[in-house]
Structure 1
Amino acid sequence: MRYLFAIFFFTLFTYSQNQNLSTVSFDNRHIAYRGINTPVKISVKDAKAFTAAAPGLKKIDDNGNYWLSVTNIPGDSVDIKIDITLNNGKHKTEIQHCIIKDLARPSIDYGLGICTIGSFISLSEEEYEKVEFSMFLNLDIEQIDIPQVTSFDISFPDKTFHRIEGKKFTPDVIEKIKALPDGSIFKINLNYYFPGIEGYHLRAIYMYIVKNSYIVHGNTLKQGIKIYPENTNIYKNSINKITIEVPDVKSYTATAPGLTKIDSIHYNLDTRQTNKDSLDVVLNIVDENDSTYNYTRKLFLAEKVNLKSTLNGEGCNKCIIEMKRNELINARVEVWQQEPKRKDELLTVSSYTILAGKKKYTITGNIIPHDLFIELPVKKGEIITVTKIKYRGNSKIKSMPEAPDIRILIQD
């Protein structure tokens, strides 16, 4: 079980009066999130006494333990003022800085895949028993626990409401869903418990489910018709690759605005010419008895996810950044999700690969380690590439695209 909180360690050492007394080590790279009560450990070596003060800082005991709450603090940073009384009776004041960020938007894991808040997913009748809801946050820190789903609310098309305790559909609710017409949409709102931030609420956590029963014009098709994208979502203003599988039939044709066939099961779906939030794929099917009928599947279109990769905060898509070689030491590889009218959201990088000359290095985490910096075979005027950047959820959230590469021109 991971610890719930990110712990800040402030360790202060005594040097000469002309030197800074403070050495600060943060487990989460100097970041405190609004809504999370962050434990802070402050200690001063070889000092008679010290006091620490900051907005939202609360002393817990006499052993240097504090809570830091930045929920109601405006701005993007907070200063912790540490007044130190040295053993020789002299006094010194130190200021330690902490970055403030908002909590990232959670993602929803429904047991058969992962989606972002507000997404539409399509489930067949046999899939509801396999659904189990959970959620996670993309944060810079590993120590924080994930919100726990305690129950969820279903809003049906007839405006009736049903609350289910736990994370899974109950048999009576599954039967009610099966009785809905094909293509019915109902909304799921997740209720959750986030230990340590009681009283603070994340943005509403919700998703939509489109019911597909595989019933067409009164005839029950054999289970197994599948229409699905290469990624979890089909994006607006994009060329999407989708797969259509219709087993145990003599033949079929598929039509939809922007749909072109690649081979027997693969298609391109061009959504650049539509402003709609959904479109219909119509299958004209000839079964084994030469009966002909149509099957329609509604596909919902999501806003495309845009990512930006940076190194120490520098970088842009399809450009080259210039850096001195020693600036690579402990440099941070970061991925940002960009959305219109919203502040960029920092995702958590889990690993990446550096291409330098003919050598390739794969690194866990998001920091360029000092040992690798010494080994890198690069000189002034050469370019290295940070590629295959994996970020939190990248292996599970197929709808999230690959992060852009970072190209660095070495200056000296």
Structure 2
Amino acid sequence: MKRLVLFLSLLFLLQSCKSSYSRTELLKENKALKERIKKLETADTVNKEAALELKKMNVVFRGVSNPIYISKPNAVSFEATAFGLRKLDSLGNYILSPGTGKTVDITIKSKLKNGDSLIETKTLRIKDISAPIGTINGIGCGSKCELKLKKEDLTNSVINAEMKNFLHDLGMKVISFKVKMPHFKTLEINGNKMNVRANDLFTLLQPNDSVIIFDIKIRLSGSSRYRLKGVAPIVIKIIE
């Protein structure tokens, strides 16, 4: 009887040790699992893609200094390179002046917090700038249409140039232009406003006469790197 009790006691003790050992191992595995999950979460956060923001537009234009903002979340440092890309400051502001081709690749090399290095490539589309159009007193539609104006509307009128659907402010200023009217020689005018000679000739215009304001020369503020097409002329038909 004593032997039976001793055997059962030993069996119970062994079973208890086995259960205690299993719980210990389970706790260790659980701790290791939590550490792996935390490491994966950290790696996922660290390896977020570099963010690239084009200011005011979703493409870059050829012949324009396009402002771009680049950032790399959770990176210790990063470097962005591309043809025509120039760094402005340490805050992520760049200027991109693209060259030939339809796209430009920006390569972003970053050093992550976990010590890894990462190389990413962002591809942007390149568009050519459309030709500016001439305007008279703020009205213009390019050479493919005809403005209908009274001859009085031309007196002391102001000539400017603008670009439709273009968000960059190029600071365009008209410095000279030419005026062609029936029966008179072409007038060459400096500045952006009709002169006395032009005003006198306007009084002689008749209904259905055509007036063309062309060879509009402009000057851009801030940079000489812009490559713009010639300004589209202003075609006018006199009414009344």
- Whether TM exceeds 0.5 here: the answer is yes
Partner of 1:22: 50
Identity across the alignment (%): 23
TM-score, normalization by structure 2: 0.66
* Equivalence map 1:3-402=2 (5 Å): 15-16=43-44, 19-70=47-98, 72-75=99-102, 77-111=103-137, 113-117=139-143, 119-129=145-155, 131-139=157-165, 141=167, 144-145=168-169, 147-156=171-180, 158-165=184-191, 167-179=192-204, 183=209, 185-210=211-236, 212=238, 226=240
CA contact (8 A) 1:135 1:147 kept: no
Q: What secondary structure sits across from 1:127 in the alignment?
A: helix
Indicate if the aligned counterparts of 2:213 and 2:235 stay in contact, CA closer than 8 A: yes
Q: CA deviation at 1:32?
A: 0.6
What is the letter of the counterpart of residue 69 of structure 1?
A: S
Between the aligned partners of 2:121 and 2:57, the Cα distance in structure 1 is: 17
Provide the rounded CA distance (Å) in 2 between the counterparts of 1:210 and 1:138: 19
Aligned CA RMSD, in angstroms, stands at 3.1
Q: Deviation at 1:175?
A: 1.1
Greater fraction of residues in strand: 1
Kindly tell me: are residues 172 and 27 of structure 1, through their superposed partners in 2, closer, same or farther at Cα, counting changes over 3 Å?
A: same
Q: What is the aligned partner in structure 2 of residue 262 from structure 1?
A: none
Give the whole-Å Cα distance in 2 for the aligned partners of 1:133 and 1:15: 59
Larger Rg: 2
Decide whether aligned partners of structure 1 residues 208 and 73 sit closer, same or farther in structure 2, where only a CA change above 3 A counts: closer
Distance in 2, Cα, partners of 1:117 & 1:203? 14
8 Å contact 1:129–1:168 — kept in the other structure? no
In structure 2, what is the Cα distance between the partners aligned to 1:95 and 1:169?
52
SS at the partner of 1:169? coil
Residues in 1 aligned to 2:234 and 2:151: alpha-carbon distance in whole angstroms: 15
Stretch moving more, 86-95 or 201-210: 201-210
Does the CA contact (< 8 Å) of 2:74 and 2:113 recur in 1? yes
Letter matched to residue 177 of structure 2: D
Per-residue deviation, 1:81 = 0.4
Distance 1:175 1:106 in 2: 29
Give yes or no for contact 2:50–2:108 (8 Å, CA) kept in 1. no
Output the amino acid matched with 1:94: E
Structure 2 SS opposite 1:153: strand
Contact 1:112 / 1:130 at 8 angstroms: preserved in 2?
Answer: no
For the residues of structure 1 that align with 2:158 and 2:97, how far apart are their CA atoms? 33
Q: Secondary structure at the match of 2:78?
A: strand
Residue aligned with 2:233, SS: strand
State whether residues 54 and 68 of structure 2, in contact with CA within 8 Å, keep that contact through their aligned partners in structure 1: no
Point out the structure with the larger helix share: 2
How far, CA to CA, are the matches of 1:112 and 1:91 in structure 2?
Answer: 54
Q: TM-score, normalised by structure 1?
A: 0.41
- Cα 1:209–1:177 change in 2 (3 A) is farther
Q: Using the alignment, how far apart are the partners of 1:186 and 1:108 within structure 2? A: 11
Cα distance in 1 for partners of 2:161, 2:121 equals: 37
Match of 2:16 in 1: none
Offset from partner CA, 1:313-349 (integer Å, 9 cap, x none): xxxxxxxxxxxxxxxxxxxxxxxxxxxxxxxxxxxxx
Inter-partner Cα distance in structure 2 for 1:187 and 1:29: 32
Name stretches of at least 5 consecutive residues in structure 1 with no aligned partner: 1-13, 213-224, 227-412
Distance 1:18 1:125, change over 3 A: closer
The residue identity in structure 2 corresponding to 1:66 is Y
Separation in structure 2 between the aligned mates of residue 207 and residue 140 of structure 1, nearest angstrom: 19
| Native 8 Å contact 1:125 1:211 kept in 2 | no
Query: Shift of residue 74 of structure 1?
Result: 1.1
Distance (Å, rounded) in 2 between the aligned partners of 1:162 and 1:123: 21
